[in-house]
Chains A and B, each alone.
Chain A
Amino acid sequence: MTGPGTGTGPAPAGWRPALSSAVSLRHDRVRDADLLLLPERVVVLRGSAAKILRLCDGDRDLDAIVAELRSRFPGAPVAEDVPAFLDRMRGEGWVR
Chain B
Amino acid sequence: MTAAPRPWALLAELTHGCPLHCPYCSNPLELVRRSRELSTAEWTEVMRQAGELGVVHTHLSGGEPLLRGDLAGIVTAAESAGIYTQLVTSGVGLDGARLATLTAAGLRSVQLSLQHADPAASDRIAGHRSYAAKERAAALVRAAGLPLGINVVLHRDNLDALDAIIERGLDWGADRIELANTQFYGWALRNRDALLPTRDQLGRARDTVQRWRDRLGGATDLVWVVPDYFDGVAKPCMGGWGAVSLTVAPDGTVLPCPAAASLPDLDPPNVRDHPLEWIWDHSGAFNRYRGEDWMREPCRTCSRRAEDFGGCRCQAYALTGDAARTDPACALSPDHGVIRALTTDPGHPAGAGTPAPTGGYAYRKPGG
Q: Which residues of A contact B (CB under 8 A)?
A: 1-6, 8, 21-22, 24, 26, 28-31, 35, 37-40, 42
Contact = CB atoms under 8 A, between A and B. Distances in A.
B114 to A, nearest CB: 16
Given A22-B109, A30-B6, A3 B52 contact: no
B219 A3 contact: yes
Contact of B170 (A3, A26, A29): A3
A21 B145 contact: yes
Interface in B187-218: 216-218
B171 interface: yes
Closest 4 interchain pairs by CB? A3-B220, A22-B147, A30-B54, A39-B109
B170 A42 contact: no
B55 to A, nearest CB: 9
The winner among A3, A21, A26 for most chain B CB atoms within 10 A is A3
A48 B171 CA distance: 38
B147 A3 contact: no
B174 A37 contact: no
6 contacts: A5-B219, A6-B218, A26-B84, A28-B56, A39-B111, A40-B176
A58 B109 CA distance: 21
A30 B219 contact: no
Interface string B19-56: 00000000000000000000000000000000011101
Contacts of B111: 39
Interface in B46-88: 52-54, 56-57, 82, 84, 86
Contact of A3 (B56, B108, B145, B173): B173
A3 B216 contact: yes
Nearest to B174: A3
B86 A39 contact: yes
A25 to B, nearest CB: 11
A49 B269 CA distance: 39
A52 B53 CA distance: 28
Contacts, number: 69
B149 interface: yes
A66 B33 CA distance: 57
Nearest to A26: B82
A42 B54 CA distance: 12
Q: Which of B53, B56, B142 has the most CB of A within 10 A?
A: B56
A29 B55 CA distance: 11
B176 A24 contact: no
Contacts of A30: 6, 52-54
B173 A2 contact: yes
Interface string B104-117: 00001101000000
B303 to A, nearest CB: 27
Contacts of B174: 3
A26 B56 contact: yes
A40 B149 contact: yes
B135 interface: no
A5 B176 CA distance: 11
Contacts of A1: 170, 216, 219-220
Given A22-B109, A30-B6, A3 B175 contact: yes
B56 A35 contact: yes
B8 interface: yes
A56 to B, nearest CB: 18
A40 B9 CA distance: 10
Nearest to B86: A39
A21 B110 CA distance: 13
Given A5-B219, A40-B178, 7 more contacts: A2-B142, A2-B173, A3-B220, A4-B219, A22-B109, A28-B54, A28-B82
B149 A39 contact: yes
B57 A42 contact: yes
Contacts of A37: 56-57, 84, 108
Contact of B175 (A4, A24, A26): A4
A38 B109 CA distance: 9
